Amino acid sequence: MDRLAAEDERPVRQRLLDAGERLFAAHGWNGVSIRTLAAEADVTLSALNYHFGEKENLLAEIFAARAAPIAAERMRLLGKIEAKGAPTLEAIIQAFLRPALTVDKQFGGAPFVKLRARLATEPEAFSRRILARAFDQSSGAFIKALQAVLPGLPAADLAWRFHFLLGAMSYTMANPGRIQSLTGGACDPGDTELALAHLVPFAAAGFRAAPVRRPRRRTKQ
């Protein structure tokens, strides 16, 4: 974009956004102080405060910069496959997952994948709000698209299955290392293409399962 920035270093704002992305992803919201953040970006504490004000703003701006392109890419892919006629279930799921898991789009994208997954289970209310604002609209569009190719599936069942898809996706993005620990490192959730190749058919089969009859209520204390 701006070639004029042929200066020695990248602008302060950008250095802070990058450092925040990387450190929040690695240590969580409460795990990194604005002092550490500033030091990592080679910036004074006051400079951070000048540019972003309170800590929450930094996270919000990191998120704003990355989430919109992901949501846009999702919609673009969905539009593309729908333009070719009735899409397959697999194609829809892939259009949903790929932009979230793919990291090689822009420099610095990889930490964001982890950051986003971390944010999903972060207890702070404002992180939920950030997430909802960023993705509710595009996710809603995908639920509609899924409903169209699964006409026999009740809306509630679809919602549950979409929820499970989000869980499998988040867990893969967060990569907590459980599966490496269980298989001696045989499978690596960090391999994006391989993760997609496995998750898409797994989820598709799940979505195609017969609808669930509502179970009888268990006696509850």
Partner DNA sequence: GTCTATAGCTGGATAGAC
Partner DNA sequence: GTCTATCCAGCTATAGAC
Residues in the chain: 221
* Contact region with a second copy (CB under 8 A), list: 46-54, 63-71, 76-84, 174-182: 174-182
Q: Which of 18, 28, 147, 149 binds a second copy (CB under 8 A)?
A: 28
- Give the residue, chosen from 17, 23, 43, 95, that forms a contact with DNA under the rule CB under 7 A: 43
176 is a site residue for a second copy (CB under 8 A): yes
Q: How far is the CB of 24 from a second copy (least distance, A)?
A: 10
Nearer Cβ to a second copy (47/158): 158
Question: What does the alpha-carbon distance between residue 142 and residue 150 come to, in Å, rounded to a whole number?
Answer: 12
User: Whole-angstrom Cα distance, residue 24 to residue 2?
Assistant: 27
Rule CB under 7 A: choose which of 49, 170, 175, 180 binds DNA. Answer: 49
Q: Is 10 in the site for DNA (CB under 7 A)?
A: no
Q: What DSSP state is assigned to residue 215?
A: P
Residues 12-31 that bind DNA (CB under 7 A): 12
Contacts of 180 (CB under 8 A, 6+ apart): 186, 187, 188
How far is the C-alpha of 108 from the C-alpha of 112, rounded, in Å? 7
Asked if 45 and 3 count as a contact pair (C-beta separation under 8 A), the reply is no
| CB nearer DNA, residue 24 or residue 96 | 24
- Distance in Å, CB of 17 to DNA, minimum: 13
Asked if 163 is part of the footprint of a second copy (rule: CB under 8 A), the reply reads yes
Query: H-helix or E-strand containing 162?
Result: helix 155-174
